[in-house]
Amino acid sequence: FPGAGSRFQEAKRLLHTAVPECLLARERETGKIKRFLREHVCAGRPGSLYIAGAPGTGKTACVSRVLQDCQGELASSKTVVLNCMSLSSSQGVFAAVASQLGLQPRAPARELARQLEQQLTAKGPMVLLVLDELDQLDSKGQDVLYTVFEWPWLPGSRLVLIGGWQRGARGAGPPAPARAELALPAGMANALDLTERGLARLQARPGCRPRLLPFAPYTREQLVAILQERLRQVAGDPVLDGSAVQFCARKVSAVSGDARKALDVCRRAVELVERDARSQTVLKPLPPGE
């Protein structure tokens, strides 16, 4: 068991769900996000991108990776990143965004929305607003979502919006895009069809529809590649058997294709292997007289 403890600790660290340096199986989506930012934020053109997919399909990781990689290109703009899960209500998004833009966030929601509209249409640098867990803004009449998605299309707007939506979340859904950028599996296509009835006011104004970037669930092969790439960084003998990694990927892909779930399962497996290894470490008694 000498040295094995540190190997187990390293394996568990590598099986975390934070943003890795390299995002396997999401090169195409990452490239599209970068191109969108360059076409809009860097070019000074307002617009919106709607990212849809089931949990654990890499939406947040891809956006976070791109924002880190493009820090230099985005330096002249203002970037606001907000996880809508942190909001106590859907209207709380106005106060959160206002605070980031230097406005007083204590006014009523309607007044804050008006102030933000004035701020985002006044002269100044481009503003990139990233709203993760966008489904939390679902509300009666969808007034909050309407307001947010209309910001980039106000006359003189300098806002670029990226919104991430969990496919299958409650409510009617975000506005449907004018066209899909990727070929969709049947299940996801059906889910996106349901969103076309969500915000009819934007449907009547084709120019306000956000661009779509769907994230499909990870396949078994993709999950195996992700898990193996993490575990390959651990020095020495493999911490987990290859057949165990294949089994985990096959089960997770059949249920959800959720990479976070696959990482969690493997991390738990490493903990069990570590516990068994420690229990097998027995100190031998010294011979008589020593």
184 pLDDT band (50/70/90 cuts)? very low
Return the axis-axis angle of helices 259-279 and 220-231, rounded to nearest 10°. Answer: 50
Instruction: Give the start-to-end residue ranges of the domains of the chain.
Output: 3-16+219-282, 26-215
Beta bridge partners of 51: 164, 213
Highest mean pLDDT among 181-195, 198-212, 250-264: 250-264
- What was the pLDDT predicted at 271? 95
Torsion angle, alpha carbons of 200, 201, 204, 209, to 10:
-90
Q: Say if CB 74 and CB 41 are below 8 A apart.
A: yes
Kindly give the residue spans of alpha helices, DSSP state H, lying in the chain.
4-14, 27-40, 59-69, 92-100, 109-121, 143-150, 186-195, 200-203, 220-231, 242-255, 259-279
pTM score: 0.85
Only one residue has tokens 């970068």, namely 34
Encode pLDDT of 23-78 as tens digits. Answer: 999 999 999 999 999 999 999 999 999 998 899 999 999 999 999 999 999 999 99
Chain segment 211-225, per-residue pLDDT in tens: 889 999 999 999 999
pLDDT of residue 139: 79
Which pLDDT belongs to residue 199? 61
pLDDT confidence of residue 208: 76
Show contacts of 100-108: CB within 8 Å, 24+ apart: 101/127
Query: How many CB atoms within 10 Å of residue 137?
Result: 25
| 26-215 CATH fold | Rossmann fold (3.40.50)
